[in-house]
Structures are given as structure tokens and as C-alpha cells.
Amino acid sequence: METACAKEEPENLSDVLDQLVDNTKGDNASFGDVLEALNSRSFGPVLLVPAVLAVSPLGAIPGVSIFTGFLIFVIAAQMFVARSHIWLPKRLLAFSFSREKLVNAVKSTRPWAVWFEPWIHNRFAFLIDAPFRQAIALVVMILAALFIPLAFLPFAVAVPGTAISLIALGMTAKDGALVLAGCAASVAAIVLAVVFWPF
């Protein structure tokens, strides 16, 4: 799948969340529907969606954290090799869940997004470009790989998921400081995985 070209690129987290609700229909939504709802081909928003879903109430659905982790890994790997278009396997995109749960997850997450947005600024944007971009992609791939072992611990996926969300949001808003904050938070995720491995 090649993601659709955007008419309007989401510029912040509340925009991303609003598009997930406004641009999906029906009783069920697949990951493909959710990603297409963004109307974006940029790595930042496309990474942000599965990361936010993983830390939202939707992440409590069995299997969602594993799928989001794999989805994030595949996207980040393509960012690492500087692929110009994002491709995702059809089988992964077909994974579906109740749209009502998606809407409820957005409703519970959006107030936090609105509260956080005044802290986001366009700064240190050079940290988002190469060669830093490849380093960011590698960090995200490591964090995504942690979803699998941490999925067996209640709410543990929220730690790497939050770190990825910060990184992806920083990429979306061109806020290098936010990307650095996400990279710093990734240390906590790695420590958590090491401490509890093999549980």
C-alpha cells in the first residue's frame, strides 16, 4: 500500500486525532482505514497513529500492541533506508477493530493532546533531517521491537509507545527538542525491558 497524498497534512496531535474520527466510517475500522484517514504520506503522522493507538485505551484490545509494534517497526525501517513512499503489507493493514472503540480512544486522548500542544514549537528542525533521521529511525525500531516482550506486562507498552509518540509528534511538528525528549524517554523503555526480561 502506498499512502494517499495529503490535501491537508496534520500539523499537531489534535489534528491527527480529529482526522481519525472524521475520515473513518462504519462499524469497524482497519489499520489501513486509520492510516488512510490521515491523508498523509509523511513519516511523522504515519508513525504517530499506531504509537498513540498503542498507549490509548484501544491498546488494551488483545493483539493491538503486537500489531502496532510491528507496524511501527516496518514504517521506521523504511524511514531508515530513506524510502520516499511508505509501503505496508495488506495483511497487516487488514487488522480491524471496533470503530466505536477508536472514537472512544480519541475522545479520551484528545484533551491531553490539546493541553500538550502549546508546548510544541518549530525548533531545532535540523535534528529531524539526515543523518539524524536515520538515528531516529533506529531508535524507533528498537522501541517497536520492545512491544513484543512488554505486551505481556500490563500497560508496559505505554512506555515505549509514549517515547515513539513524542518522537513522531516532534517529526510532525518539526520540533527537534520533542524528538530529543522522545529519545530520552526511550532509555526508560529499554531499562524496563531489561529489568523484566524474561519476566
- Say if residues 16 and 172 touch (Cβ distance below 8 Å): yes
Angstrom distances, CA of residue 173 to CA of 23, 90, 181: 21, 29, 14
Neighbours of 94 (CB within 10 A): 11
Q: Which of 130, 129, 123 is nearest to 181 (CA)?
A: 123
What's residue 7's pLDDT? 47
Neighbours of 22 (CB within 10 A): 10
141-171 pLDDT, tens per residue? 999 999 888 888 877 888 899 999 999 999 9
- Gap between the Cα atoms of 118 and 101, Å rounded: 27
CA 176, 177, 182 angle in degrees (round to 5)? Answer: 95
The residue that leads in pLDDT, 58 or 188, is 188
- Say if residues 113 and 17 touch (Cβ distance below 8 Å): yes
- Look up cell 525500531; give the residue: 141
> pTM of the predicted model, to two decimals?
0.83
H helix count then E strand count, the chain: 10, 2
- Look up cell 488512510; give the residue: 36
What is the H or E stretch that residue 28 is in? strand 28-30
DSSP-derived 3-state class of residue 89 = coil
- Say if residues 161 and 51 touch (Cβ distance below 8 Å): yes
CA 20, 21, 24 angle in degrees (round to 5)? Answer: 80
At 129, list the grid cell: 533531517
83-142 pLDDT, tens per residue? 877 888 888 888 888 888 888 888 888 888 888 888 888 888 888 887 889 999 999 999
Q: Residue 65 forms beta bridges with which residues?
A: none
What is the H or E stretch that residue 66 is in? helix 64-80
Mean pLDDT of 182-195: 85
